[in-house]
Amino acid sequence: MKTQVAIIGGGPSGLLLSQLLNRAGVETVVLERSSREHVLERIRAGVLEWGTVEMLREAGVGDRMDAEGMPHEGCVLSDDDMMVRINFKELTGRSVMVYGQTEVTADLYKAQDAMGTTIVHSVEDVVIHDATTDAPYVEYTLDGTRHRLDCSYVAGCDGFHGVSRKTIPEQKRREFERVYPFGWLGILSRTPPAHHEIVYANSSNGFALVSMRNAQLSRYYVQVPLTDKVEDWSDDRFWERLKSCLPTEVAQSMVTGPSIEKSIAPLRSYVNEPLRWGRLFLVGDATHIVPPTGAKGLNLAVSDVYYLHHALIDAVKKSDETGIDAYSDRALARIWKAMRFSWQMTTMLHRFDGEDSFAEQMRKATLLHLSQSETARRDLAENYIGLPF
């Protein structure tokens, strides 16, 4: 088989890249390790930056998002009963869209099917060959048969545990990492959200998050030690901890119910440089991971796709390589700013084991300053709604 761009990974970044390239007349093949059902079972991101919203509309997959998504003009940061609202609309003129990553992925699969693009599911043993030549190719196994896919370029959209990043020799790469000593235990419940906007709650019992997928589907998280397992947490224990972290007025309006999904996600900040090796380009979680405190994971994958799709269209359609030559540095400039914001939100809102009373005072002072300074709130709002591409 031969194509112009081989895309490893059929998650949001691989699918969005395929969608944008095919709309511009660039041929792709997507190779996905899991079944479509498995990809669509994942519950992940919930907040879309405005740049992501515009990209999805440009890609022709914004209709259901616009019909079912919830524009949010602000969010709340709290410290026990002190609540500070960050009014994105007033401070930046922009909002964010609450619309689950699962729905974005489903919309992309539907659009890809309508375009008749090639997506191969349940592939195994993907190997990228000759990435530093002008004739790279990818081998993979499907139903026990080994296949070869010749291509002009390879996009590594295969997430943190994929093969693309590791195709670049370790001595050619630099890695930066911060692993946090806690995780987020998240649940979905068919209950009305306890607050109409997202609440990032800092309390003496640790961090908690109030979010949602729609008016009858709530998404909640609490900070847990890395040693905890999902089976350690009954629904009752979860609801009790969640309420203990939230401002009284939010906790009192909490409607509890059975969890329909429950999982623990570890938190890490990670960047791999560079994002390019010959004709292989890394995208999204394949090359960076952010703690979800800043709601940046999915959105950073989208900005990588923004830069790369323009670069690949120029390279394939006009033999103009300036975009692909600039891709890694351009994407990294934005990645590091989002990395900083996600790290800052995480350190500001979580309790770290063994921290002293000074750290507690710094957290309280940060929130107090936010409550008193429009400049501080504007800085947070600009980062949260998404810095320009």
Where does this chain bind ligand PHB (CB under 6 A)?
45-47, 198, 211, 219, 292-293, 295
Residue among 275 and 301 whose Cβ is closer to ligand FAS: 301
- Applying CB under 6 A, among 5, 7, 8, 315 the residue interacting with ligand FAS is 8
Residues 256-315 contacting ligand FAS, CB under 6 A: 265, 284-285, 292, 295-298, 301
Stretch (H or E) spanning 182: strand 174-189
Partner that binds at residue 219, options ligand PHB, ligand FAS, none, CB closer than 5 to 8 Å by kind: ligand PHB
Q: Is 317 a catalytic residue?
A: no
The site partner of 293 among ligand PHB, ligand FAS, none (C-beta below 5 to 8 Å per kind) is ligand PHB
Using CB under 6 A, which of 5, 7, 10, 346 touches ligand FAS? 10
Q: Catalytic pick from 195, 243, 262, 296?
A: 296
- For residue 86, list its beta bridge partners: 75
Contact status, residue 31 vs residue 177, Cβ threshold 8 Å: no
- Give min distance, CB of 165 to ligand PHB, in A: 24
- Dump the DSSP string for 332-386: HHHHHHHHHHHHHHHHHH-PPTT--HHHHHHHHHHHHHHHH-HHHHHHHHHHHH-
**Considering only residues 28, 52, 78, 101, which one is a binding residue for ligand FAS as defined by CB under 6 A?**
101
33 lies in the site for ligand FAS, by CB under 6 A: yes
Q: Is 291 helix (H, G, I), strand (E, B) or coil?
A: coil
Question: Which partner, ligand FAS, ligand PHB, none, binds residue 247 by CB below 5 to 8 Å per kind?
Answer: none
Mark whether 72 is an active-site residue: yes
State which residue, 202 or 303, has the beta carbon closest to ligand FAS: 303
- The alpha-carbon radius of gyration of the chain (Å, integer) is 21
- Our CB check for ligand PHB shows the closer of 70 and 120 to be 70
Site for ligand FAS contains 14 (CB under 6 A):
yes
Phi–psi pair at 147, nearest 5 degrees: -125, 155
45 binds ligand FAS (CB under 6 A): yes
Cα–Cα nearest to 283, from 377, 170, 153, 182:
153
Q: Indicate the burial class of 322 (C-beta count within 10 angstroms; 0-12, 13-18, 19 or more).
A: exposed
Is 200 among the residues known to form the active site? yes
Q: Which does 309 bind (CB under 5 to 8 A by kind): ligand PHB, ligand FAS, none?
A: none
C-alpha distances in angstroms, 200 versus 65, 309, 329? 24, 34, 32
> d(Cα 198, Cα 209) in Å, to the nearest integer?
7
Query: Which CB sits closer to ligand PHB, 47 or 300?
Result: 47
For residue 186, the minimal CB distance to ligand PHB (Å) is 7
Q: In this structure, what token pair is assigned to residue 364?
A: 């309280």
Measured CA to CA, the distance from residue 337 to residue 55 in angstroms comes to: 20
377 binds, among ligand FAS, ligand PHB, none (CB under 5 to 8 A by kind): none
Instruction: Give the pairing type, strands 153-156 and 124-129.
Output: unpaired
Amino acid at 187: I
Q: 340, exposed or middle or buried, with CB in 10 Å at 0-12, 13-18, 19+?
A: middle
Q: Which of 3, 6, 7, 13 binds ligand FAS (CB under 6 A)?
A: 13
Query: Which two structure tokens, joined as six digits, stand for 152?
Result: 């002009």
The entry of ligand FAS, ligand PHB, none near residue 275 (CB within 5 to 8 angstroms by kind) is none
51 binds, among ligand PHB, ligand FAS, none (CB under 5 to 8 A by kind): none
The contact set with ligand FAS (CB under 6 A) reads: 8-14, 31-34, 39, 44-46, 101, 123, 126, 157-159, 161-163, 265, 284-285, 292, 295-298, 301
| Residues that are catalytic | 72, 200, 292, 296, 384
